[in-house]
Chain A
């Protein structure tokens, strides 16, 4: 312990929220697997007993991080830890035990350890180390290649472990890059790709293309000087597109009735494209070129959705997405989890059924109810009030981390802080989102709350390294 440090300046708000969330988690695990015959909350044969052990050990870890480890060493050991984690991720593919179809767990005696949980920390540290180097500037091709390699390596290994869900979490680092100056276009394109993908799956390419043309028109309008003309043109052109298949009813076009209806869209869009290409060439409008390339890419995406969906995605992933989009309703099979989860949360009503009074989250009606679906117990027993309270805690935690990160003079601490906020945000959004049916079911835990040692340890380490780094500010 360094006596010269002002430990009074520790951010007690973050520590306080951490403790509240961990306690809520413990109580919820207790409630979700509560068994009258093994009622003691410290009973080690039950998950709530084990969770107590994880909490105690997490506090020990937190103590070490706050008072023992020198925060300056993170710059140095970041790469060693990162490489070590990659090695573990690689080895687990061969030596790991299979749990729910994925090989991502080490079995050490009676305990299970998931390297993917810890590699989030090491990746965050390595990213901070890389980007805080004084000669590093995000924007060059080289810089993107380095960052890309750093992020993709663990993601790839985790996909090979068949833990696609955990790999998706790494997309959180895109937010960090965005904060550090990456163009927002990447995020915007990503969002648009998701939107077009969902629209095409839920409806058809016809609808997607009309939406795409609409988005393009809006961007064109923002960039162009002829605002009024553009708005007027869009207002006429979009409905015209929607009705374009009726062109086939024209007498002189009889014989073309059997063409796919998107054909008529293209009949109308292609002259417009030719005109825009002409404009781009003549007036050297760079943004117009980007728009046109973007349009072409989007059309390609729309027509490969079926291929991606049928060939690349695993059957269980397909079903989860179809269930989310309401394309198919299978309440006995894959839709079961979400259906049960929504009943549990929905039946909580405004103020909930009360502690241990949840009927839905007892036994095994909600699967994984102490790990990935722990939010069901909160929703059922504490109702809308309790749920909103937990959501608020998370939002406050994330915002607090971001605002503290912004205050850092050391860019290592700032980048690391953003990574922590982004990772917690991704878990928070996807996990709670899946229990209430707004994101697909991806098996990742709710930070600090879900049952499990790997998860609790890794989030504790993740958060407390930041709290300790933050303290350096007062030095």
Chain B
């Protein structure tokens, strides 16, 4: 006995302790804890998922940009399937008989793996097919239909802006475990940006079944069931008519048009061309490789992503900065002999000369702005060019350039703005002067702005000195918008200096032909459009055609930037497009049918190719 007896007792105590542990845990999971009994993985329950309708995307007037239509997924529970008329089923849904046979064979092969699971068999059948199926449903045991919604697009409002939804794939589920197989998710554009608002919440009905998979009853009279909560609709600031009109005008052109309501910063239209046609959005997977391989990159939202040289429209910014810095007077005139002939020189076009600031904006005189720009940089107020340049840069930034504006538009980019470092790198430290960077005077060189930036510039001038951050969501009871969107952002140029820019832009459009006005062709009686053309040099081919404008002159309702790649003069393409859109927005009806026809039917892509 002795120590062995003691050890034996301890061993037996150990055995009882372990047994007690096991019994306690069994008691815990079999009796106390309900989570194992109503767990979704429990096969005794059939969870019928109720998919919520996705929220609508509405325009500013309540018109539906993206709507829903009911479609039906036909589900199969292989365990319940018995002999049925395969041909009949194929006829209803237009399926290939051999595909169906292979699928069914596969189910049989993986019988044990599939177990009681219900799998999708036909996706997105339409209501006509569904109706036929319902009539014959008794012939197809093991098949049932669940309703889903698919997206519809009543207006051609542009695929890049709206974005598309598709079914989540495995890699997405791994990163976002709250999504399950069969769920849809917004992948681009507004669908992605507002996914959380739009998606709603899935629900389910729980049924109890026995081992033969016969559904016995609704579990606990539906106490644990959950209704699907539909997604909330979002009200956008987009004007559906204007947006689809813009899409039409931009057909067969590369570039974009952005329209903003200056008094709120709300984006009225945002067109990027070539874009994804809304006809392809609902079934985008079919076109996916075609879209990705398209050399014109239709998935790329040029309006907010592409950094372009602004060209002559940027002259206004330089003029305003020069005024603010006090280096020019309103009456100062510069002589232009077909250009600015200092250093490498900058050419100009024929126009009356000499001109003051207002006339220079009206006629877009290169020489004037070269002088003015050099005055800004060679300002004696600053000890060296680096400091005067930094001052200039800071003021340009206050116009929204060189950084993201912070809009809620998906994938917005910030463009580029050179710094002293940029030029130190190009020319060597302290080896550059105002003349070295003279291209900036006329919006060329190392500056990249998105069309959204330019539309915002138009809005700033329309507002005489401030802007609201552009945004596409209007606040509604369901969605609050960022407080930043209701805040005025003032530029570093004082209010009083803007009048001359506005007058210059007014005269650029509304002066008679022969006066030197650059955009006299696009004036519309009574609309008081103020605009500025630009013809930005493009190293890759023909010049880009640029135009910014707003209307009316007093109390402006709309500010637009149009940017057409490789199309030529600003006055030829961008100006008429912007002008037509203003007419459409302010008058709701366009009277210049010839111009409209000419623009919408022209193909600048082909013109450029010649």
Contact = CB atoms under 8 A, between A and B. Distances in A.
Q: Is the pairing of A and B real?
A: yes
Contacts of B112: 363-364
B8 A342 contact: no
Given A178-B7, A346-B36, A359-B210, A436 B31 contact: no
Interface string A338-355: 011011011111100100
Interface stretch (B10-18, B423-431, B445-453): B10-18
16 contacts: A178-B11, A339-B41, A343-B42, A346-B36, A359-B44, A359-B211, A363-B113, A364-B112, A364-B115, A365-B115, A379-B30, A391-B22, A425-B15, A429-B18, A436-B22, A436-B26
Given A346-B36, A347-B37, 10 more contacts: A343-B36, A343-B39, A349-B37, A360-B42, A363-B115, A387-B30, A388-B23, A399-B12, A433-B21, A437-B29
Interface string B63-97: 00000000000000000000000000000000000
Contacts of A343: 36, 39, 41-42
A449 to B, nearest CB: 15
| Most interface-central of B3, B7, B23, B111 (chain A CB within 10 A) | B7
Interface string B210-248: 110000000000000000000000000000000000000
A114 B440 CA distance: 82
B28 to A, nearest CB: 8
Contact of A340 (B3, B16, B41): B41
A360 B45 CA distance: 10
Interface in B19-56: 19, 21-23, 25-27, 29-31, 33, 35-37, 39, 41-44
A395 B8 contact: no
A402 B12 contact: yes
B31 A384 contact: yes
A391 B12 CA distance: 15
B22 A180 contact: no
Contacts, number: 119
Interface string B188-216: 00000000000000000000011100000
A469 interface: no
A191 B36 CA distance: 31
Interface in A388-431: 388, 391-392, 394-395, 398-399, 402, 406, 425, 429
Contacts of A399: 12, 15
Given A180-B4, A181-B4, A436-B25, A345 B30 contact: yes
A175 B31 contact: no
A388 B43 contact: no
A363 B16 CA distance: 35
A96 interface: no
A179 interface: yes
B300 interface: no
Nearest to A331: B41
Given A379-B26, A395-B19, A406-B8, A357 B36 contact: no
Nearest to B39: A343
Contact of A391 (B23, B29, B35, B42): B23
B116 interface: yes
Interface of B: 3-4, 7-8, 10-12, 15-16, 18-19, 21-23, 25-27, 29-31, 33, 35-37, 39, 41-44, 111-116, 209-211
A202 interface: no
Given A433-B22, A436-B22, A349 B31 contact: yes
A5 interface: no
A350 B26 CA distance: 10
B395 to A, nearest CB: 44
Interface string A175-195: 100111100100000000000
Interface of A: 175, 178-181, 184, 331, 339-340, 342-343, 345-350, 353, 356-360, 362-365, 379, 383-384, 387-388, 391-392, 394-395, 398-399, 402, 406, 425, 429, 432-433, 436-438
A150 B549 CA distance: 94
Contacts of B8: 179, 402, 406
A379 B30 CA distance: 8
B211 A356 contact: yes
A429 B113 CA distance: 30
B603 to A, nearest CB: 52
Nearest to A433: B22
Given A184-B7, A357-B210, A349 B30 contact: yes
A358 B211 CA distance: 6
A416 to B, nearest CB: 16
B110 to A, nearest CB: 10
A433 B11 CA distance: 18
A359 B116 contact: yes
Contacts of A364: 112-113, 115
A180 B8 CA distance: 9
A174 to B, nearest CB: 11
Contacts of B4: 179-181
A350 B31 contact: yes
A348 B23 CA distance: 14
Contact of A384 (B10, B26, B39): B26
Nearest to B29: A346
Contacts of B26: 345, 379, 384, 387-388, 391, 436
Contact of A365 (B11, B23, B43, B111): B43
Contacts of B42: 343, 347, 359-360
A31 to B, nearest CB: 10
A267 to B, nearest CB: 38
| Most interface-central of B4, B11, B23, B112 (chain A CB within 10 A) | B11
Nearest to B45: A359
Given A184-B7, A348-B30, A402-B11, A438 B16 contact: no
Contacts of A357: 210-211
B37 A346 contact: yes
A143 B112 CA distance: 54
A257 B165 CA distance: 50
Given A179-B4, A356-B211, A342 B29 contact: yes
Contacts of A175: 11
Given A347-B44, A350-B30, A384-B30, A437 B25 contact: yes
Nearest to B35: A346
A384 B116 contact: no
| Most interface-central of B22, B31, B37 (chain A CB within 10 A) | B22
Nearest to A356: B211
B588 to A, nearest CB: 55
B547 to A, nearest CB: 55
B115 A391 contact: no
Contacts of B116: 359, 363
Nearest to B38: A347
Contacts of B3: 181
